[in-house]
Each structure stands twice: as structure tokens, then as C-alpha cells.
A and B are shown apart, each in its own frame.
Chain A
């Protein structure tokens, strides 16, 4: 059974760096074709893809946010970490991590999400 859970701060101040951790089970990020991605959703708005990391350590980022994002993995802990710099109130959103199965790079299993508010 594949499960994912996001963790991290629920409140950050403007200009701070957000670090979110996705802890997963039921699969290995060393399995050919598998990846873990991050997606966010501002309150009342649509989903927005942020980044993903593949089994072979290939990484892809949203072009509009690429300069602010870093995605890394800790295979020994079954974790993927997303770092977003220079947070702004417009970054207030629910952040989801998701398992990217073979042929489903948009995510086939999703975590419950974590609401992150940006406010001074």
C-alpha cells in the first residue's frame, strides 16, 4: 500500500525559506520509472505543479518557480524534501506530494496535503 505524508511548518514569514518533507512508504524511489512530485493549491484555486524527482535522480521544476525551488531525496529515510526560498503571501497554499507511477507523471497516489500560510 502506497502512502505519502507531508510535514513541515504551517506558518512562515515573508522572505523566509520553506522546507517541506514528504515521507512515503509502500514503494522505493529506486524503482525504475518511479518519481515523487510536489503540487500546490492556493485556497479556492487550481492545482499548480511545482517539481518532481525521478528514481535516477533526474529533477524537473516549474519554469516560473525554478529559481526558488530545490527538490532532493533521502532514500535511506524514504523521504523527499522540497525547499522554496523567498516565501511571499501569494505562496499560501496546500502543498501536496505525490507518487509518480510509470506513465502517470501527474501523480497516482497523493498525500493528504499540508496548508502553509505566509504571513508576518
Chain B
């Protein structure tokens, strides 16, 4: 059972804006950066957002991240069919002295 809680599923239609939440606690999200990953079917996870709201080179600005207190969110605007994937949040945990991943959210583009 993940300590970072994500909804198991989300959905939207092409062009819509969807958000995926990630809820944690003080030792993890409350004290450290949140990072987001996109995992396409059969592929390795790819860093999508780092340090709460930074996009690596090549990631479209349709993807954005935010953090407030012990929660974080990933927003995807202008939804496209190729965005259908699993999305994971992650953060360092000062109590665990290690990394926590969320349980993942499967995004469907209807």
C-alpha cells in the first residue's frame, strides 16, 4: 500500500483538461519536491515533471504540476489520445530515508 495516494483512474475526452491528485504527508510531500512520471504501455517510466512544477526538455507545456502543503497535482490540458498512460507521483520521504511512489493513476482518453 502506497503512502502517496493517487486515484486509480481518471478520464477525459480529447481537448479537455484533467487533473490527477497525489496526497501525502509532512515527511514526504510536505518537506520535499514532488516528481511525476508517465508510463506508456510496455515502456519504462519517463520523467514528466520534476521539483513540483518543472518540465524536462521535450515535455509539452500541456503538462503542469503544482504542490500545496502535503498534496500535489498533475494537470494535462488539451488532452490527446497519446496521453493515455499510467501516471505516478513520487517524493523523497525523510522518515523512510528513501523514495515513495504513488499507486499510479490510469488515464483513459475517451
A and B, one complex?
A: yes
Q: Contacts of B37 on A, CB cut-off 8 Å?
A: 47, 106
Q: Contacts of A47 on B, CB cut-off 8 Å?
A: 37, 45, 88, 90, 101, 104
Q: Contacts of B110 on A, CB cut-off 8 Å?
A: none
One of A19-27, A74-82, A108-116 at the interface? A108-116
Q: CB distance A106 to B98 under 8 Å?
A: no
Q: Contacts of B90 on A, CB cut-off 8 Å?
A: 47, 49, 106-107
Alpha-carbon separation in the docked complex, A117 to B93 (Å): 29
Q: CB distance A60 to B97 under 8 Å?
A: yes
Alpha-carbon separation in the docked complex, A63 to B98 (Å): 8
- The proximity string for A residues 83-120 relative to B, scoring 1 for CB distances below 8 Å and 0 otherwise, is 00000000000001000000111111111110000000
A96 closest partner in B (C-beta): B44
Q: Contacts of A62 on B, CB cut-off 8 Å?
A: 96, 98
Q: CB distance B98 to A46 under 8 Å?
A: no
Q: Is the interface of B mostly helix, strand, loop or mixed?
A: strand
Q: Size of chain B's interface in residues, with CB distance under 8 A?
A: 24
Q: CB distance B44 to A113 under 8 Å?
A: yes
Q: CB distance A49 to B47 under 8 Å?
A: no
B2 at interface, CB cutoff 8 A: yes
Q: CB distance B50 to A49 under 8 Å?
A: no
Question: What are 25 of the A-B contact pairs (CB < 8 Å)?
Answer: A39-B99, A39-B101, A46-B88, A47-B88, A47-B90, A48-B101, A49-B90, A49-B98, A60-B98, A62-B96, A63-B96, A63-B98, A103-B50, A104-B33, A104-B47, A105-B99, A107-B47, A108-B47, A108-B50, A110-B44, A110-B45, A110-B46, A110-B47, A111-B44, A113-B44
Q: Which 8 A-B pairs have the closest CB atoms?
A: A106-B90, A49-B99, A47-B101, A110-B44, A46-B104, A106-B35, A46-B103, A108-B47
